[in-house]
Amino acid sequence: MDEPPPTVLLIAGLDPSGGAGLLADTRIVLASGLHPIGVATALTEQDSRECVRMNPVAAEVIAAQLARLVDDFAIKSVKIGMLATADNARAVAHSLRALDGVPVVLDPVLRATRGVALLDGDAREALAPLLRLATVVTPNVDELAALGGVDALRDFGTAVLAKGGHLPGAPIDRLYDEQGEVELPGERIPGEPPHGTGCALSTEIACGLALGLGLRGAVQLAVVRVRERIRAARAIGRGRRFVG
């Protein structure tokens, strides 16, 4: 019998438009030939134009779903995106304790580019339990500032991929890990940045880790793949383009 595909656990918000969150992440995991399993932390009300509301899923529901998945599947990596509430972050951290040694990618989603906040309360306090178990955290410029900067994040023991896409000029992402710092220079792709790039990047990293690439290899491959996805962005709804 064929070996089953490695399983990637997605913990993220549901964006019904498919541009970001669980549906978009699922598409990316499948493109790597891996098996996605996933738990929704919130049901957002959004389309390709804007995100107007988040409806958090109860922490007990998330914990119960995760308990079953963790017991059933040989999970090779975890991607955590939008959490909505500090209660949800705590429940996820508690549920993932059973997965000791499995790499965890944390995308600290705080706000929709066009729309509402996607995490209630103080970001650093809410995400602290997850920062302690993350392999790598992937903040953009605003998220990095809200979380206290690279050194503050490194104090939790996690590697940091500081994304430079929101800064003017040629974008440079920087990875800070145990061996030091790696610069990942990119190029500015013309047009308005598509919806869902942050979700795509963190999920691509989780896929690389599930396939056994080390952190640096997984991050380097993910950055290249997301650049191609931004180049391939398409308008599917009437609003922003989605990553390809």
In the list 36, 56, 81, 108, the residue contacting ligand PLP (rule: CB under 6 A) is: 81
Dig out the tokens for 156 from the structure. 């939790």
Identify the three-state secondary structure at position 88.
helix
Q: How far is CA 105 from CA 8, 124, 179, 237, in A?
A: 11, 16, 18, 29
- Residue 78 has phi, psi (to 5 degrees) of -130, 135
In the list 76, 79, 163, 195, the residue contacting ligand PLP (rule: CB under 6 A) is: 195
Helix or strand run (H / E) with residue 19: none
CB of 129 to ligand PLP, least distance (A): 19
* Nearest one of 159, 156, 160, 155 to 143, comparing CA atoms: 160
Q: Does 203 bind ligand PLP (CB under 6 A)?
A: no
Site mask for ligand PLP (CB under 6 A), range 18-37, x = bound: --xx----------------
Q: Does 56 bind ligand PLP (CB under 6 A)?
A: no
> With CB under 6 A, what is the number of residues at the site for ligand PLP?
18
CB of 196 to ligand PLP, least distance (A): 5
In the list 9, 109, 119, 153, the residue contacting ligand PLP (rule: CB under 6 A) is: 109
Q: Does 78 bind ligand PLP (CB under 6 A)?
A: no
Q: Does 165 bind ligand PLP (CB under 6 A)?
A: no
CB of 17 to ligand PLP, least distance (A): 9
> Which among 67-75, 87-95, 149-157, 192-200 is the span making contact with ligand PLP, rule CB under 6 A?
192-200
Task: Please say whether the dihedral angle defined by the alpha carbons of residues 84, 86, 88 and 93, taken in this order, is positive or negative.
Answer: positive
Q: Does 110 bind ligand PLP (CB under 6 A)?
A: no
- In 112-196, which ranges are continuous DSSP H helix? 123-131, 141-146, 150-154
Instruction: Answer for the pair 134, 105: CB distance below 8 angstroms, yes or no.
Output: yes
Single-letter amino acid, residue 27 = R
Nearer to ligand PLP, 76 or 195 (CB): 195
* Distance from the Cα of residue 30 to its chain's centroid: 16
Instruction: Answer for the pair 105, 136: CB distance below 8 angstroms, yes or no.
Output: yes
Binding site for ligand PLP (CB under 6 A): 12-13, 15, 20-21, 44, 51, 81-82, 109, 112-113, 118, 195-199
